C-alpha cells in the first residue's frame, strides 16, 4: 500500500461511526434488495421494465413517497418513476436520481450465477469467493460478502440506497433539509433516447434547485466519489461487408477479400500504438480544465499503480498519463468485435461481414454529432463508401470497401463548476466518509439534459465497489458498500 | 455470359447423355440421402460420428461391400469406414475416398432449415428459393432444386455418389476396372489429426495403386473438376489479453488498453492493403508450377468476372491476379474474430480478451510447422510475448502485449504430376463431362499423408455445385449435381 493509499485509509477510518443497520435489519434489507434484483431489467424489454417499475412503486408506497410513473410519448418508452417527500418550510428542492434499468446480458458468459438470480458469495469470484446461502435474520453478515446479479451495482444500488435512507431518516424522526423529489430513470443503459422529451414533458413536476445523481463506482482506494461532471457518450456500430455468401477459405482465400481483415485494418487506423486516437481533429473542441479543477484532480490519491497491478496491465494508453488525466479527454473504445466464429465454433470460411461496436466518450466542448462526423470522415478517408444501411449489389460491385455505420443515441458531456453551492453542500456532507471530489467521472450520464431542459445543476455520487464488473458479466455489489451507500444517501438528504 | 463461359457451356452440353436415374429411382435415392444427412456429423461429437458410421455401414452392407470400421488408437478417434469390391483378374487396385464428417454448425445463422433437418428448396435461397415438400416417387424432380443441410455437399455427397455408382454398375451387370476399395474418413473437417496413425495402422488393408478423392466444388462455370493437388492447411488461434476483469469503458476507456484494438492492430500488420501477406518469408519455400501445370491453369476457363459479380466484390486481393493463380500461393485467412459482443448484445465495456481464428493454406514447398513459426516470429516482432497458454498475473504485469497462440493440427500440400497414369486415366474418364483439370485446388485435404504413409498418388474429383455454402451456414446441394456425381463415380470406377 502506497503512502497515499494509507492516507486515504486513514481518512476512511476517521469517518463517523456509520449508522450501520442492526443485524436483524440487515437481513430484511438484503431480502428486499434481492427481490428487486430478481426482476430482469434490460431496457429494450419494456414489459420487464414495467414489472420493475411496478415493484419499485410498491417499495415507494410503503415509504409514503406517493409514487407515480412519468410516462414518455408512448407506452414503448420506459417510464421514469417519480416520488416526493415534501418538507414544509424548506427553501430549496432537491431531486435524487438513480436508474433502474440495466445493461444487456450474455448469460453464457456469467460464471457466478444466472444474471437475474441473485446469489451471495464470500468474496470476489477471482479471489476464490464461494457461494453461500441467503443470510438468516440475526446472523452476522460480513461486509466483504458480495451479491452477484445484473444491476446489483449499476444502478439498483442507487434506488435501494435512496429508499432505505428514507427509512433511516423516518426511523430517527428526522426530515430532509430540502423538499425531496425522487426520479428513477428506466432507459439509462440504452443511452436515454427519450429522456429529453420526458424531462420537458414533466418539467413542472421536476422543478428543483439541483439534482444529485446516485450512480457509478467508488475510487479504487475504496473512497466514495463526488463528481461534478460526466463524459458524454455515443455508440457507433461499424459493419464491413464481404462476399454476399460465406465462402470456403481454401477455395477462395487470398483472392476474395476478407471483411475481418478489412475491419481490422480500419480499426487499427483509428489509434496509434500508444492509444492516441488518430482520427483528424479528435482532440479539438476540448474545453481545458480550470486551475481549480486541475488542483482537485491532483488532490485525489493516485490509484494507478494499484489498478495496473490488480488488472494485470503491462502498459496503459496515453504514454504514461494517469487515469484521472486520461478520462478528461475524448475516447474511442471498441466495445465488441465479431466476424463469424472463433474457438470450437470456428470454421474455415471467409465471413460475409465483420462488425465492431464502438463507443465514443466525449468531454466538455465535444459535440456528439460533430465527433461522429470526424469518425465518418476518417472511415471515408480510408477508402470506404459509408452507408447507413446494407449496400445494394451495385454498390458492392462498384466499391472496393463499404462500411455500414449506424449511429446510436448519444449525448454530450456535462460539468458543474466546483464552486456551485449544491456541489459544495454535497461534498461537505460526504467529507466525513473520506470522499474524493472529481471534476468529471470517466463514465457517462445524460446530465447535460438536466441543465439544458430544466436549468438544474447536477452532482454525482458514486458508491459501488470499484471492482463491480459493471456493464459486464458477473456484475456484483460488495455488501459493505450497500450499508455505506444508505448512510451517505441519508447524509446527502440532510446536507445544507 | 462471356465467350469463354459459352464455350464451357457448349462443352457441358456435348457431354454424353448421362445415365440419369429414372423418376421412380430418383425419389428413392433422395430418400436414402436425406436419411444420411439427418444424422449430425460434427467430428468432435464422436458418438454422433459413430451413428453415422453405423448407418453408412448398413448402406454398404446392402451393396455387398463387406464394410468394417478401421479404428484409430482409441474409441475417441472417429473411425474410418472401409469396404471393398474385389475384381478377380484386375491388375490394379484403386481406393475411392470421401469423408462423412462435417464442419461445425451455428444453427442460429441458418436461414434455410435446421442444420440436420434436410429440406428441399426450389432454388438457391438468395435467388428466392422456396421450401417444397419431399418429392413423391414418380413425380418430376427439377435438377435445379436444392437440398439444404450440413454436409449435403461437403462431403456426404462423395459417400452417396460412390455407393450409388456401385448400384449403377451392378444394375448394368458391369464390374469396376480395378479392385475397388472404399475409404470414408470421419474427421477430415477437424484437420485429420489421427489420419496418419490410422493409415499406418491399416496399411496392409489399404494397399493400392492410387486414391481418388471425391470432395470439393465444381468450377464456377458448372464444369466438374479434376485436381492433382490440394493446398495444405493449419489453423492457428490467437488470443490477445486485456484487463483481468471486464471494465466499464467510460471509467477506464482510453487508459486501460483495449484487447480488441490491440488484436486489430496485430491482424492489420499481417497483410497489406492489397491482401499480400507481410509476414517475413511468407512466400519463400514455394515450389513454382511446372510449365505443364501453368499451361493447365491457362486452359481452364476464367470465371473471375462471373464470381466478382455474383459475390458482389468491388476488388480482389493480389493486385488483379486471377483466382486460379491466387490459390497457387500460401494464404493467411481470418476465419473469425471475436471480442465481447456487437449489435443488440454490445455493452459499454473494455473486453478482457479478443480472439481470432486464422487458417493458413500451404502450397507445395511450404512446411506447416515452418509457416506457423514465421507467423509466431511476426507476432513477436510486433512486441508480443507469445505463449501457448493463458498468461500468469506476473506475465501480464510485466509485458505490454501478450498473445496466446494455439496451433491446431495441420498438414502440408500435395501435388501429383500431370503425367501420372492415375491422373491421366481419371481425367480421361471425366473428359466427356467437360471436366477442367487443375494442378491444385484451393481447398485442403491431407493427401500428402497417402503418399508419405502408403506411397500412393492421389487425384481429386470435385462435383458439388460451386455455390454450396460449404463450411458455412445454409450449406446446400443442387440435385442435378447429385445425379452427375453418381454418373461420374461410375465412370471413374470403369476408367482404364
Check: CB of residue B245 under 8 Å from CB of residue A467: yes
Reported ipTM: the value is: 0.84
User: How many whole angstroms separate alpha carbon A452 and alpha carbon A89?
Assistant: 28
Beta bridge partners of A250: none
| A317 to B255: CB separation less than 8 angstroms, yes or no | yes
Instruction: State whether residue B13 is helix, strand or coil.
Output: helix
Residue A440, pLDDT > 80, answer: yes
What pLDDT does residue A410 have?
86
B249 touches chain A (CB under 8 A): yes
Q: How many Å is the Cα radius of gyration of chain A?
A: 24
What pLDDT does residue B23 have?
77
Locate CATH 3.30.70.360 in chain B.
232-286+329-411
Closest CB from A231, A307, A332 relative to B250 = A231
Count CB atoms within 10 A of the CB of residue B337.
32
A107 touches chain B (CB under 8 A): no
What's the grid cell of residue A236?
A: 457507433
| B260 to A326: CB separation less than 8 angstroms, yes or no | no
**What's the rounded mean pLDDT across residues A158-173?**
97
User: How many whole angstroms separate alpha carbon B24 and alpha carbon B21?
Assistant: 8
Locate CATH 3.40.630.10 in chain B.
15-231+414-493
What pLDDT does residue B68 have?
98
Nearest to A333 by CA among B349, B301, B270: B349
User: How many whole angstroms separate alpha carbon A32 and alpha carbon B430?
Assistant: 77
Angle at B114 between CA B113 and CA B120, to 5 degrees: 40
**What's the rounded mean pLDDT across residues A125-141?**
87
Beta bridge partners of B80: B70
Beta bridge partners of A217: A464
What's the grid cell of residue B149?
A: 443441410
Residues of B in contact with A277 (CB under 8 A): 254
Instruction: List the beta strands (DSSP E) in A172-306.
Output: 179-185, 210-214, 225-227, 229-230, 232-241, 247-248
Residues of B in contact with A321 (CB under 8 A): 255
- Listed by number, the residues of chain A in 205-224 with a beta carbon closer than 8 Å to a beta carbon of chain B are 216-217
User: How many whole angstroms separate alpha carbon A145 and alpha carbon A147?
Assistant: 7
What's the grid cell of residue B461?
A: 474429383
A260 touches chain B (CB under 8 A): yes
Closest CB from B104, B351, B399 relative to A336 = B351
What pLDDT does residue B126 have?
87
What pLDDT does residue B10 have?
34
Residue A464, pLDDT > 90, answer: yes
CA B297 to chain centre: 21
Residues of A in contact with B322 (CB under 8 A): 255
User: How many whole angstroms separate alpha carbon B386 and alpha carbon B403?
Assistant: 5
DSSP state of A102: B
Strand order in the sheet with B232-241: A384-387, A401-411, A232-241, A353-362, A331-340, B331-340, B353-362, B232-241, B401-411, B384-387
Rounded to the nearest 5°, which phi and psi values hold at A484? -65, -35
What pLDDT does residue B113 have?
78
Domain B15-231+414-493: top CATH class: alpha beta
In tens digits, chain B (496 residues) has pLDDT values of: 233 333 333 333 334 445 578 778 899 999 999 999 999 999 889 999 999 999 999 999 999 999 999 999 999 999 999 999 999 999 999 999 999 999 988 888 888 878 899 999 999 998 999 999 887 777 889 999 999 999 999 999 999 999 999 999 999 999 999 999 999 999 999 888 899 999 999 999 999 999 999 999 999 899 999 999 999 999 999 999 999 988 999 989 999 999 999 999 999 999 999 999 999 999 999 999 999 999 999 999 989 999 999 999 999 999 999 999 999 999 999 999 999 999 988 989 999 999 999 999 999 999 999 999 999 999 999 999 999 999 999 999 999 999 999 999 888 999 999 999 999 999 999 999 999 999 998 998 889 999 999 999 999 999 999 999 887 889 999 999 999 999 999 999 999 8
| A349 to B472: CB separation less than 8 angstroms, yes or no | yes
CA B481 to chain centre: 17
B390 touches chain A (CB under 8 A): no
Nearest to A218 by CA among A76, A382, A430, A44: A430
Cα dihedral A341, A345, A350, A351 sign: negative
Residues of A in contact with B312 (CB under 8 A): 241, 243-244, 391, 393, 396-397
A316 touches chain B (CB under 8 A): yes
- Tell me which of B335, B350, B363, B445 to substitute to probe the interface with A (most A C-beta atoms closer than 10 Å): B335
**What's the rounded mean pLDDT across residues A204-233?**
95
- Tell me which of A303, A314, A390, A446 to substitute to probe the interface with B (most B C-beta atoms closer than 10 Å): A314
CA A38 vs CA A51, A110, A148, A216, B51: distances in Å: 11, 15, 11, 21, 43
- Tell me which of B248, B300, B309, B408 to substitute to probe the interface with A (most A C-beta atoms closer than 10 Å): B248
Check: CB of residue A78 under 8 Å from CB of residue A46: yes
Beta bridge partners of A227: A438, A460
Check: CB of residue A151 under 8 Å from CB of residue A102: yes
CA B170 to chain centre: 30
Any idea which residue has 430540502 for its cell?
A178
A108 touches chain B (CB under 8 A): no
Residues of B in contact with A345 (CB under 8 A): 104, 106, 336
One CATH from 3.40.50.11440, 3.20.20.70, 3.40.630.10, 3.30.110.60 for A3-230+414-493: 3.40.630.10
Locate CATH 3.40.630.10 in chain A.
3-230+414-493
CA distance A126 to chain B (A): 9
Host H or E run for residue A36: helix A23-37
- Listed by number, the residues of chain A in 147-206 with a beta carbon closer than 8 Å to a beta carbon of chain B are none
Residues of A in contact with B271 (CB under 8 A): 261, 265
List all residues 6 or more positions away from A71 whose beta carbon is below 8 Å from its beta carbon: A77, A79, A198
- Listed by number, the residues of chain A in 9-68 with a beta carbon closer than 8 Å to a beta carbon of chain B are 44
- Tell me which of A43, A123, A232, A348 to substitute to probe the interface with B (most B C-beta atoms closer than 10 Å): A348
Q: Say whether the peptide bond before residue B403 is cis (omega within 30 degrees of 0).
A: no
Q: State the DSSP string of A407-444.
A: EEEEE--EE--TT-HHHHHHHHHHGGGT-EEES--SSB
| A316 to B256: CB separation less than 8 angstroms, yes or no | yes
What pLDDT does residue B5 have?
34
Residues of B in contact with A350 (CB under 8 A): 333
CB pairs under 8 A between A and B: 382
Host H or E run for residue B407: strand B401-411
Nearest residue on chain A to B338, judged by CA atoms? Answer: A338
- Listed by number, the residues of chain B in 443-462 with a beta carbon closer than 8 Å to a beta carbon of chain A are 443-444
What pLDDT does residue A19 have?
54
pLDDT in tens, A169-200: 999 999 999 999 999 999 999 888 899 999 99
Band (A2; pLDDT cuts 50, 70, 90): very low
Closest CB from A106, A400, A443 relative to B248 = A443
Nearest to A460 by CA among A144, A99, A86, A59: A99
Residues of B in contact with A396 (CB under 8 A): 312-314
In chain B, what is the straight-line distance between the N-terminal and C-terminal CA atoms, in Å?
36
Cα dihedral B433, B438, B440, B443 sign: negative
**What's the rounded mean pLDDT across residues A269-286?**
97
Host H or E run for residue B132: strand B131-132
- Tell me which of B355, B443, B472 to substitute to probe the interface with A (most A C-beta atoms closer than 10 Å): B472
CA A108 vs CA A42, A114, A344: distances in Å: 16, 9, 15
User: What number does CATH give the domain B232-286+329-411?
Assistant: 3.30.70.360
Host H or E run for residue B476: strand B476-478
B441 touches chain A (CB under 8 A): yes
Any idea which residue has 475491419 for its cell?
A263
| B467 to A313: CB separation less than 8 angstroms, yes or no | no
Cα dihedral B291, B297, B301, B304 sign: negative
Question: Cα dihedral angle (A472, A476, A480, A481), rounded to 10 degrees?
Answer: 30
Check: CB of residue A425 under 8 Å from CB of residue A496: yes
What pLDDT does residue A3 have?
31
Amino acid at each position: 500500500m502506497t503512502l497515499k493509499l494509507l492516507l486515504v485509509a486513514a481518512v476512511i477510518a476517521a469517518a463517523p461511526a456509520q449508522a450501520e443497520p442492526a443485524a436483524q435489519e440487515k437481513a430484511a434489507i438484503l431480502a428486499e434488495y434481492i427481490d428487486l434484483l430478481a426482476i430482469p431489467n434490460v431496457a429494450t424489454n419494456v414489459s420487464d421494465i414495467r414489472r420493475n417499475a411496478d415493484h419499485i412503486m410498491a417499495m415507494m408506497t410503503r415509504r409514503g413517497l406517493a409514487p407515480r410513473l412519468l410516462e414518455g410519448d408512448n407506452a414503448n418508452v420506459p417510464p421514469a418513476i417519480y416520488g416526493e417527500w415534501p418538507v414544509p418550510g424548506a427553501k430549496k428542492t432537491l431531486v435524487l436520481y438513480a436508474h433502474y434499468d440495466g445493461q444487456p446480458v450474455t448469460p453464457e458468459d456469467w460464471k457466478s450465477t444466472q444474471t437475474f438470480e441473485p446469489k451471495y458469495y464470500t468474496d470476489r469470484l477471482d479471489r476464490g469467493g464461494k457461494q453461500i446461502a441467503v443470510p438468516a435474520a440475526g446472523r452476522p453478515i460480513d461486509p466483504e460478502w458480495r451479491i452477484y446479479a445484473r444491476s446489483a451495482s449499476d444502478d439498483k444500488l442507487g434506488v435501494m440506497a435512496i429508499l432505505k435512507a428514507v427509512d433511516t431518516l423516518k426511523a430517527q424522526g428526522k426530515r430532509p433539509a430540502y423538499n425531496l423529489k425522487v426520479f428513477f430513470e428506466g432507459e439509462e443503459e440504452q443511452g436515454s433516447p427519450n429522456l429529453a422529451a420526458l424531462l420537458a414533458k414533466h418539467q413542472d413536476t421536476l422543478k428543483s434547485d439541483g439534482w444529485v445523481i446516485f450512480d457509478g463506482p467508488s475510487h479504487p482506494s475504496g473512497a466514495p466519489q463526488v463528481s461534478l461532471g460526466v463524459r458524454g457518450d455515443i455508440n457507433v456500430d461499424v459493419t464491413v461487408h464481404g462476399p454476399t455468401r460465406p465462402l470456403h477459405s481454401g477455395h477462395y482465400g487470398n483472392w476474395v477479400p476478407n471483411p475481418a481483415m478489412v475491419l481490422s485494418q480500419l480499426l487499427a487506423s483509428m489509434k496509434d500504438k500508444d492509444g492516441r486516437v488518430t482520427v483528424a481533429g479528435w482532440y479539438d473542441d476540448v474545453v481545458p480544465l480550470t486551475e481549480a479543477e486541475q488542483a482537485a484532480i491532483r488532490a485525489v490519491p493516485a490509484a494507478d499503480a494499484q489498478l495496473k497491478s490488480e488488472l494485470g496491465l503491462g502498459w496503459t494508453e496515453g504514454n504514461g498519463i494517469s487515469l484521472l488525466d486520461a478520462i478528461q479527454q475524448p475516447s474511442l473504445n471498441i466495445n465488441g468485435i465479431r466476424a463469424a466464429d472463433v474457438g470450437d465454433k470456428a470454421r474455415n470460411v471467409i465471413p460475409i461481414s465483420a462488425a465492431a461496436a464502438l463507443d465514443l466518450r466525449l468531454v466538455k466542448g465535444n459535440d456528439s454529432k460533430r465527433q461522429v462526423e470526424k469518425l465518418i470522415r476518417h472511415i471515408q478517408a480510408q477508402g470506404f463508401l459509408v452507408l447507413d444501411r446494407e449496400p445494394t449489389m451495385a454498390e458492392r460491385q462498384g466499391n472496393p470497401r463499404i462500411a455500414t455505420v449506424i449511429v446510436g443515441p448519444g449525448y454530450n458531456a456535462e460539468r458543474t463548476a466546483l464552486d456551485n453551492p449544491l456541489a459544495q453542500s454535497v461534498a461537505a456532507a460526504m467529507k466525513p466518509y473520506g470522499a474524493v471530489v472529481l471534476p468529471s467521472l470517466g463514465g457517462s450520464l445524460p446530465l447535460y439534459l438536466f441543465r439544458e431542459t430544466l436549468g438544474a445543476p447536477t452532482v454525482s455520487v458514486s458508491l459501488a465497489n470499484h471492482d463491480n464488473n459493471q456493464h459486464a458479466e458477473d456484475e456484483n455489489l460488495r455488501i459493505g458498500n450497500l450499508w455505506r451507500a444508505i448512510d451517505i444517501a441519508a447524509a446527502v438528504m440532510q446536507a445544507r
